[in-house]
Amino acid sequence: SAMYSAKQKGGNQFVVFEIPQHEKLVRRVQLEQDLFHAIERGEMKVHFQAQISLDEGRLIGFEALLRWQHQELGNISPAEFIPMAEYTGNIRAIGVWVLEESLRHIGDWRSRYSTNLFVAVNVSPQQMETNNFAEQVRDALSRAGLPSSALHLEVTESMLMQSSAEVQLDAIQALGVRIAIDDFGTGYSSLSYLPRLAVSTVKLDRTFLEDVGTDERKTQLFGAIVRMAHTLNLVVVAEGIEDACQLECIRSYRCDAAQGYLLSRPIPAETVEQLLETEWRDGLLSAVLV
């Protein structure tokens, strides 16, 4: 295969790269640099994925999911670029922008269509470690003229393990902003910390949802987790609902809300608006529950 080597200064050791690995490195460096200009170049967009309540099938809010359309390389997955933005520290500036964009849209939709809609915004570890993060959130809400109930924040389990997290969560909760543990069940999954942390919601990761409704043991496990979460007065959201069988099953286990491709893909703001004008007009998505 195509390889090249570079003799290191003064030594007799060789560093050997395989070309594909070298290309990966070049891509990474380019993307890390380009990320700094992506917002001003208009390459970033926030998409929105619907969440519905399972008691009556009502549209209750959206998760904001960032999209990057790179001018040369096309669509870059958040799974690729979010860790890069974390690494360079650029995630702080990006996070502020995502928050503002998300609040701008939800404010618009609340005033025009449904006053109780919320937007759930993903928070990265670096943002949580920013001392005045709660103030940033409070200021963003007040600039948008929105009550704290219009915003939820999603954090991961590993972020909750940081020593600074507890203080930060308390400050956010004091604002009245709800906090959800994202991808619940994929991290440390220590249940002992749950009662003392200022979180209101758990989002069960979609790996939990695989085979729910068909595999007996997985279904039982799912039911047990929902009951445990309810015992702790937590709201339970299931992510990654892809088929009607899963939906029926999580509903029968009294899961509170659902999100997934079956209900809606993440879609641009313009499409949300079209749906709010037509199919989602009355906020009831009960068709998906029958």
Distances (CA, A) of 212 to 65, 108, 242: 25, 37, 11
CB of 95 to ligand C2E, least distance (A): 6
CA 15 to centroid of chain Cα atoms? 39
Q: Does 246 interact with ligand C2E (rule: CB under 6 A)?
A: no
Rounded to whole angstroms, how far apart are CA atoms 257 and 239?
9
Rounded to whole angstroms, how far apart are CA atoms 273 and 268?
9
Q: Does 65 interact with ligand C2E (rule: CB under 6 A)?
A: yes
Q: Which stretch binds ligand C2E (CB under 6 A): 144-152, 210-218, 229-237, 258-266?
A: 258-266
CB of 133 to Mg ion, least distance (A): 17
State the residues that interact with Mg ion by CB under 5 A. 122, 154, 182-183, 239
Which of 34/120 has CB closer to Mg ion? 120
Which of 41/45 has CB closer to Mg ion? 45
β-strands 267-268, 44-53 pairing:
antiparallel
CB atoms within 10 A of CB 59: 25
- Which residues on adjacent β-strands are paired with residue 122? 154
Structure-token pair, residue 35: 């990320």
Q: Which ranges of 210-257 would DSSP assign to H, the alpha helix?
A: 216-231, 244-252
CB of 174 to ligand C2E, least distance (A): 22
Q: Does 100 interact with ligand C2E (rule: CB under 6 A)?
A: no
Touching ligand C2E, residues 154-213 (CB under 6 A): 154, 182-183, 206
Q: Is the dihedral of CA 268, 50, 191, 193 positive or negative?
A: positive
Q: Which member of 57, 61, 213, 266 binds ligand C2E (CB under 6 A)?
A: 266
CB of 70 to ligand C2E, least distance (A): 15
Rounded to whole angstroms, how far apart are CA atoms 190 and 181?
12
266 binds, among Mg ion, ligand C2E, none (CB under 5 to 8 A by kind): ligand C2E
- Which residues on adjacent β-strands are paired with residue 154? 122, 180
Q: Which member of 44, 54, 84, 98 binds ligand C2E (CB under 6 A)?
A: 98
Residues that bind ligand C2E (CB under 6 A): 49, 65-66, 77-79, 82, 98, 122, 124, 154, 182-183, 206, 239-242, 259-261, 266
